[in-house]
Amino acid sequence: MNTANLQLEGVLLALSRLLETMRHKGLLTSGEIETALAEAEDACRRDAACRTISPGQAEGVLFPIRFLRAATNRQEGTAPTFTDIATSIGENKDRHG
């Protein structure tokens, strides 16, 4: 696996835990986190650069946003693994659009 991919995995896990910590401390609500990430995904879709790349590349750009949305929309409990979240994104791919 490409080292950059491994670094991205670590960054996404860290960011998802930071968002969850902010939610637990009352700094952000679940709705605010969801809104911010939905706005980020929408901005990406509107970006001319994102519309000129292949659909597969566009999915790659959207993956980190979708990862954070999925990670922060999970039930309370232990922190999910990268694989758990990535699998859920793949299983729900048809819902994105």
Residue 2 has a pLDDT of 65
Residue 65 has a pLDDT of 92
- At 19, the pLDDT band (50, 70, 90 cuts) reads very high
Residue pair 1/74 in contact (Cβ under 8 Å)? The answer is no
The whole-angstrom separation of Cα 53 and Cα 46 is 13
**Residue 67 pLDDT > 60:** yes
- At 5, the pLDDT band (50, 70, 90 cuts) reads confident
Residue 31 has a pLDDT of 94
Residue 42 has a pLDDT of 93
